[in-house]
Amino acid sequence: MVYENVDGVKIGLEIHVQLNKLNTKLFCGCSTDYHNDEPNTHVCPVCLGLPGALPVLNKRAVEFAMKVGLALNCDIVGQTQFHRKNYYYPDLPKGFQTTQYDFPIASHGKVIIDGEDGERIVRITRAHMEEDPGKLMHIGSIEKSKGTLINYNRSGMALIEIVSEPDMRSPKEARRFLDKLRSILEYLDVFNGDLEGAMRVDANISVMGGERVEVKNISSHKGVEKAALYEIMRQKNFVRRGGKVVLETRHFDEQRGVTLSMRSKEEEHDYRYFPEPDLVPMRVADRVPEVIKTLPELPDAKRERFTSQYGMADMHAKALTSEIKVANFYEQVANLVDPRSAAVWVADILKGELNYRDVSVDAFKVEDIVEIIELVTGNKITERSGVEIIRTILDNGGTPAAIVKEKGLIKVEEDIVTKAVTEVLEENPEALQDYLGGKEKSLNFLVGQVMKKTAGRSDAKTTREMLLDRISKLPPK
Amino acid sequence: MTGWANISQVKEKIAQTSAEDVTASYLERIRKSRINAYTTIWEGAIEKAREIDEQGHNGPLAGIPIAIKDNISTRGISTTCSSKILQGYVPPYDAHIVERLKDAGAIILGKTNMDEFAMGTSTESSCYGPTLNPWDKARVPGGSSGGSAAVVAAGEAPISVGSDTGGSVRCPAAFCGVVGLKPTYGTISRYGLISYANSLEQIGPLATCVSDIAALMDVIGGHDARDSTSVQTETMYKDALVDDVSGLKIGVPAEYFGAGIDPAVENSVWDAIQLFEELGASWEQVSLPHTSYALAAYYIIAMSEASSNLARFDGTRYGLRNEGENWHVMASRTRAEGFGAEVKRRILLGTYALSAGYHDKYYLKALKVRTLVKQDFDQAFKEFDCLMTPTMPTPAFKLEEKVEDPLALYLADVNTVPINLAGVPSISLPCGFTDGLPIGLQIISKHFDEATVLRAAYSFEQNTEHHTRRPAEVA
Ligand SMILES: [Zn+2]
């Protein structure tokens, strides 16, 4: 199957990623751990842009950026070079942003995603380092607020801006790309996507060979998908009515799910880039081999290893490796029980329950899932009871043993089921006759009756087998 | 007492009396001053001096009063760059050199007047009004570190620090008859120096004699991790103070004796070169062919960097604020009132030079010229140990003489700016007088070879009397 892309959709993304696993900011020693602290408590002369303060490049930030570049299959620049991007805004304490311009730390990479019709390569144009501005806040709404408050705690946080080519052909592909990117960043341990403002996306969207429209500052993957869907529809309708899409920047209203025009590209600022005189180039080319050594196994490699090492289906391997936490959780479980059962239980069941509740795998203990899998494979409880235990733990807490006991989930003795089978066959002679006469469905009815009698404590599979066994032994009439 | 004095004379005085007495007499003198060289007098100085008397201090500058240019951050002491826009700004931190000076036991007397944001050659563009030249109060002290040079010349501080972006230490040193050094780019940390043109400027010491320059360099020079352009150097500047120039090869660049040079200045400099020859050095003419392009390149680079450096003064966080109906209006009004005409001129020209469509024509071209100017020096230093030129083509000019003609003022920097473009060290020291006005000799050497500059300057000083002359009213 080949994806046709009838509307000629092209989506390119620019993703600002906060390297928030660093201990200090990009150009000063201020701590990055500000998320729960009072405004303007993680600041110093450098990140406040006080007169006379000078930047010093965080060596570890460069290493993090190199890791990202290498994980995205990029070339790494020979030496770092920073520029000043000049513009006025109250969140920008120096009146310019220190960023990389014509020599980004990484360029010419690629990421493989599950596209509309199988594997798809999204090319990475570049990834460059820059500093985050502060954050503006208003009391109440922007319109009603008497003034603007500025929190510079975020000012000077290290960002890496990753720019893709317009290689995505649908909102779904854009979403998959972002999921994959987040997965890689978390594998690299340079980024915690759960923190506020950790990832901000600008999406460039065009249809049918028209001009691109940039939708700025979308804060979630879902938002990007929604914004792209809306924007494609809007542009298509516009063209259909005879309009011509022009270069412009739009804003995504997350609540209403619509994009709104901000300004046309012609009015764009002249940023007057020039090399930052206060920073000297840092040679990084020689450090590439050493950084490569520190790269962890990445999602694609892990997925392949999971299928070969644990003999699981690729579908399961993919589900288990998309999040590093889940992959690590799975491997701990697989060390203790049958890896294939573990794959099914973690990938299909547990992950589903976690997603449903929007909680991370941290919410579940390895030992609990191991115990549940052992109970099921040891035929002590039914699969359904296993699922019930997982749900109970997630909703109310507790241990598998306690829940089994409290809810009486241990499978009933077989003679009780045997007795129920005998009774059901005696009580339902018509159904039995129908089955013997070739009506397969009647067997299901009988299975249901047995399960009803045992209050669901026998499982369908065993019941079915026992019924068939008994029927085959009935004396012919 | 006090007045014109060098470090060892002040030390002697402290030993006889106390650091407190010495500081008090300087403060007394400053209060009576008529040259408007200080922007802020630090009243805490007395207490600091008393502390040194009581607790003792074995730092190399223990109890020595010093004046600091108003663009160098001093914790708890107003730092305004002589600009209205920084009124009320009191830095919460010390510049690297201020930390070093405090550690060495120096007593900060106050902050000195300057051209607004160091943009000028006369100290006339200060929001506090001009500083007057102690040798002739109808004349400018030079700039932009005019205050720092004038206080030393007028005996209002034995030593001071300034900053030199295109001659801002050497020009006022020449006009005020004191010694001023612009060290190699990267020698002194700029951390805390409020930037005008980052890639060009260095902090530099001013004093009455070459040994004090070396003493100050030993305190304020050296690596600082907070300035990425700061370099690890091992120089012990005091060791360079040797009265011996035998074998020294001096280059005399013809381009630095060009049109507009005052004949008295030219004669004094040649006399100086002749003296060096008598002392065992040799000289030859040399050409630095790209000198004539240096001035234009310098102003483009300096103004471009300035346009970005001064963007942060928007009234949001510190200094002057003029309210407006929104942030942009507030920032515009603040900048409109806060910056003086020369600062605005340079911001506008710098913004223009960096703008799309002009960037390559001006900024990039200026960078190319800078490389060529640097190559001129590299070439010259293959043959010569140092170069000697007049620091300024003329002695101090009259107040307001060039205020209305910025271009004439820029042209005065013709002999000092190439040195900043190249990043090499150079010193200005008194080498004569004309009509009672001092003349400065500029000695230039290769990168990180302050030792040669200091040795030549020290030898000259040991064999001449110019540095002992002082303005009439200085005791
Ligand atoms: Zn900071």
pLDDT digits (tens, 9 = 90+) for A88-106: 999 999 999 999 999 999 9
CA of A131 to the centre of ligand 1 (A): 11
pLDDT in tens, B225-258: 999 999 988 779 999 999 999 999 999 999 999 8
B284 burial type by CB count under 10 A (0-12 exposed, 13-18 middle, 19+ buried): exposed
Domain ranges of chain A: 10-291, 297-407, 414-472
- Spell out which residues of chain B touch residue A52, defining contact as CB-CB under 8 Å: 71-73, 79, 91, 95, 190-195
For residue B304, whether the previous peptide bond is cis, meaning omega lies within 30 degrees of 0, is no
Q: Which of residues 349-388 of B touch A (CB under 8 A)?
A: 351, 354-356, 359, 363
Higher-scoring residue by pLDDT: B408, B135: B135
Q: How large a percentage of chain B has pLDDT more than 70?
A: 99
Average pLDDT over residues A158-174: 98
The whole-number pLDDT of residue A477 equals: 58
Q: How large a percentage of chain A has pLDDT more than 90?
A: 74
The whole-number pLDDT of residue B475 equals: 54
Q: Name the least confident of A5-9, A202-206, B28-32, B401-405.
A: B401-405
DSSP B337-394: HHS-HHHHHHHHHHHHHHSTTTTIIIIIHHHHHHHHHHHHHHHHHHH-SEEEEESSSS
The whole-number pLDDT of residue A141 equals: 72
Contacts 24+ apart (CB under 8 A), A320-326: A320/A346, A320/A347, A320/A351, A321/A183, A322/A179, A322/A180, A322/A183, A323/A183, A323/A186, A323/A360, A323/A361, A324/A183, A324/A186, A324/A187, A325/A186, A325/A360, A325/A361, A325/A362, A326/A351, A326/A361
**In this complex, do A95 and B314 lie within 8 Å of one another by their Cβ atoms?**
yes
B69 is a catalytic site residue: yes
> What CATH architecture is A414-472?
Orthogonal Bundle (1.10)
B144 is a catalytic site residue: yes
Q: Name the least confident of A137-151, A310-324, B330-344.
A: A137-151
The whole-angstrom distance between B185's CA and the closest CA on chain A is: 12
pLDDT category at A264 given cuts 50, 70, 90 is low
Dihedral sign computed on CA atoms, order A84, A90, A94, A99: negative
Spatial separation of the C-alpha atoms in residues A261 and A213, rounded to whole Å: 10
Out of B11, B13, B69, B446, which one is annotated catalytic?
B69
* Position A359 pLDDT exceeds 50: yes
Average pLDDT over residues A138-153: 83
Average pLDDT over residues B77-99: 98
The whole-number pLDDT of residue A412 equals: 64
Q: Tokens 């998309």 — which residue?
A: A322
**In this complex, do A86 and B198 lie within 8 Å of one another by their Cβ atoms?**
no
Q: Which of A50, A52, A94 is nearest residue B311 as measured by Cβ atoms?
A: A94
Spatial separation of the C-alpha atoms in residues B267 and A476, rounded to whole Å: 138
CA of A287 to the centre of ligand 1 (A): 27
SS3 content of chain B, % helix, strand, coil (to 5): 40, 15, 45
What CATH number does domain B7-255+262-287+379-474 carry, 3.90.1300.10, 1.10.1040.10, 3.40.50.9100, 3.40.50.300? 3.90.1300.10
Consecutive H or E run containing A84: strand A83-86
pLDDT category at B151 given cuts 50, 70, 90 is very high
Helix/strand/coil for A66: helix
Kindly state the tokens that stand for B308.
């970005």
Q: Which of A52, A148, A272 is nearest residue B355 as measured by Cβ atoms?
A: A272
Which residue, A327, A325, A118, is CA-closest to A317? A327
Helix axes A59-71, A171-187, angle to 10 degrees: 130
**Phi then psi for A402, rounded to 5 degrees?**
-65, -40
Q: Which of A272, A278, A279 is nearest residue B354 as measured by Cβ atoms?
A: A272
**In this complex, do B228 and A94 lie within 8 Å of one another by their Cβ atoms?**
no
Spatial separation of the C-alpha atoms in residues B253 and B233, rounded to whole Å: 28
Helix/strand/coil for B307: helix
pLDDT category at B1 given cuts 50, 70, 90 is very low
Q: What is the mean pLDDT of chain A?
A: 92
Spatial separation of the C-alpha atoms in residues A367 and A376, rounded to whole Å: 14
The whole-number pLDDT of residue B473 equals: 73
Q: How large a percentage of chain A has pLDDT more than 70?
A: 97
pLDDT in tens, A396-437: 999 999 998 888 888 766 667 888 888 888 898 888 889 888
